[in-house]
Amino acid sequence: MEARAKEDSILLKYSNASATERVDIMFDNYQLFPRMIRKEEKKTQYKIKSEREFSRSHNRGELGVRVQTSKISSPTEDEAIANVMLDEAMKTGEITDGLLKGIDDAKTYAKEIRIISIMKMDYELLEEFVEDLDDLDCQMMKAFLIKKMYIKEIAAETGMSYDYTKRRLKTLREEITLEVVDCIEMNCGEDM
């Protein structure tokens, strides 16, 4: 239950975190972070689409599925366009005119879209810094972050001492954190 509460609040936690805390969140959840983002993205998209559909049906006094009765507008085409606009907003964080029109609490959804976009950018940056390490350093970081190997296993695999491996992983994390923080500081302060 506690893991679920942690996952449910990731948008709020991330949006209220400092740049350093954001990097820590990404490092601590390195392997799962992309899935956490996708989950929040899908939940937000679902809520927006459901509310948009409810609003449309409610405004027309409909009880069920709408059947097209004229050739003036195409609800299917309109919905497809709205979905493409929503997907684009999730990538860029930019809300186009009309995307959240008629939706209650549109400001909250706009903030969720923005923070999801920021989370994606931040993670891509962190991932790039890990990938750009020297081969051995990259191998060590990936073994630790992705494979969840113990330091002693990484030391044995690389032929280095436990103490050196532990210090090196700590140093790499600190160096990457400094570089990423320098870049993502401007996106902090996105309160939800």
In this structure, what token pair is assigned to residue 140?
């060590």
Query: By percentage, how much of the chain surpasses pLDDT 90?
Result: 55
d(CA 116, CA 122): 10
Q: Residue 87: how many CB atoms within 10 A of its CB?
A: 12
pLDDT, tens digit, 9 for 90 and up, residues 102-156: 777 778 888 998 999 999 999 999 999 999 999 999 999 999 999 999 999 999 9
Which among 184, 190, 185 has a CA at the least distance from the CA of 15? 190
Is residue 189 pLDDT above 70, yes or no?
no
Which among 191, 134, 184 has a CA at the least distance from the CA of 158? 134
Confidence band of 95 (pLDDT split at 50, 70, 90): confident
At 189, is the secondary structure helix, strand, or coil?
Answer: coil
Q: What's the mean pLDDT in 27-50? A: 92
Residues 6+ apart with CB under 8 A from 41: 90, 116
Is residue 183 pLDDT above 50, yes or no?
yes
Single-letter amino acid, residue 43: K
